[in-house]
Copies of this chain bind each other. A is one copy, B any other.
Amino acid sequence: MTNVFNPPARTLMGPGPSDVNPRILSALARPTIGHLDPQFVAMMDEVKSMLQYAFQTKNALTLPVSAPGSAGMEACFVNLLEPGDKAIVCQNGVFGGRMKENVERCGATAILVQDDWGKPVDPAKLAQALADNPDAKVVAFVHAETSTGVRSDAATLCKLAAENNCLSIVDAVTSVGGIEVAIDAWGADAVYSGTQKCLSCVPGISPVSFSERAIAAIKNRTTKVQSWFLDMELVMGYWGQNTQRAYHHTAPVNTLYALHESLLILEQEGLEAAWARHDLNHKALAAGLEAMGLSFVVDEEYRLPQLNVVTIPDGIDEAAIRQSLLQDYNLEIGAGLGPLAGKVWRIGLMGYACNQTNVLFCLASLEQVLREQGADIVAGSGQSAARAYYQSQQ
């Protein structure tokens, strides 16, 4: 016989999922009701309008796809691309590579604009690719690269796409709730995100938003969307304004309770206050990490406050460090991916987990396990620097 699973109480400071606010866990466990229940439908409307706030958009087609962020990504590509189309994909980390896979599986051609891992997307390279490919239909890029901790300039990249008559697809999985996402101001056409990062909700659903221009492109398709499940015209019928909703699939009822609560928490805190909190705790953590001799992969100007990617000191067994933190401190930090595997740690400060207690706990724990491995760190130096930063901001 199997036993009941009782997970340990971790502090989640990796690349996501992040610590879930207890208010959200409590909402998650409320009694399940029918997905066509009038009270559930009313709640869906509130989720849509709070998502519009989080995304800073008036887009009517703003809703959570009933599957994780990678399905949200796929929803954007399969709806906007048809076989034979061309898409320019900006790649500066893991998720750009996944975008290329998506483009090709739509029967479309991907033109890659490559930048080094840890660097933002270079607008000049995109401009050149647009000039070289006047027949491109889509430009896709990652706003906040979870594999490297870099922020790209979404406003400039979306503007370049629009000026060249392209639709823009933006990955905002890690950005929403942590740094500004401004769909309407950017003029972005299709944006997908995740719930398990700065929204501090459980993983499993992916809020997306499509502009009027994107909807027109979907309506003008000459072929059916290759995915029935992700076909936005069908999903619209289910999440739409009409009172008589067309049954499409069974919504993940309880996960949507959780998203509702997480968006309510964001609304109550306010977007600007949430961004300021991420900035404050990031700067304190950065001061501490740098005082301990760790250096950031990303230049200061482009760093994501919610994902701090630092180089592992020479001679350190990085996997052993992560294992000690997990086993002895119940603290999760993230490993590197792709070319950064074994070379960096990814320390998240996302949503509910982004607070002073976690910053100081992380610095204290990391210092101890590094010192046990022989690293030359002055005891308390990380915490002192962080505390000094906090005090300077009071």
Contact = CB atoms under 8 A, between A and B. Distances in A.
Contact of A5 (B8, B27, B202): B27
A26 B29 contact: yes
Given A204-B204, A267-B1, A7 B19 contact: no
B71 A229 contact: yes
Interface residues of A, number: 79
A251 B67 CA distance: 9
Given A105-B228, A228-B74, A250-B68, A19 B32 contact: yes
B267 A32 contact: no
B33 A29 contact: no
Interface in A1-57: 1-10, 12, 14, 16-17, 19-20, 25-35, 37-40, 43, 46, 49-50
Contacts of A17: 32-35, 250, 253
Given A28-B28, A70-B248, A229-B67, A33 B4 contact: no
Residue among A26, A105, A205, A337 with the highest chain B CB neighbour number at 10 A: A105
Nearest to A74: B229
Residue among A32, A102, A268 with the highest chain B CB neighbour number at 10 A: A32
A255 B202 contact: yes
A383 interface: no
B203 A251 contact: yes
B67 A5 contact: no
Interface string A132-165: 0000000000000000000000000000000000
A344 B7 CA distance: 44
A79 interface: no
Interface stretch (A211-219, A256-264, A302-310, A368-376): A256-264
A261 B204 contact: no
Contact of A202 (B27, B39, B69, B253): B253
A33 B10 contact: yes
A28 B29 contact: yes
A72 to B, nearest CB: 9
Contact of A69 (B8, B194, B250): B250
Contact of A34 (B26, B32, B268, B332): B332
Nearest to A40: B7
B2 A50 contact: yes
Contacts of A46: 2, 5
Contacts of A226: 105-106, 226-227
B204 A255 contact: yes
Contacts of A228: 70, 74, 98, 101-102, 105
A33 B332 CA distance: 9
Nearest to A23: B4
B251 A37 contact: no
Interface of A: 1-10, 12, 14, 16-17, 19-20, 25-35, 37-40, 43, 46, 49-50, 66-71, 74, 98, 101-102, 104-106, 194, 196, 202-205, 224-229, 247-255, 257, 260-261, 263-264, 267-268, 326, 332, 337
21 contacts: A1-B268, A2-B46, A4-B27, A5-B257, A7-B43, A8-B39, A9-B31, A12-B33, A16-B250, A17-B34, A25-B32, A26-B29, A32-B196, A35-B203, A69-B249, A74-B228, A74-B229, A204-B252, A226-B226, A247-B337, A252-B252
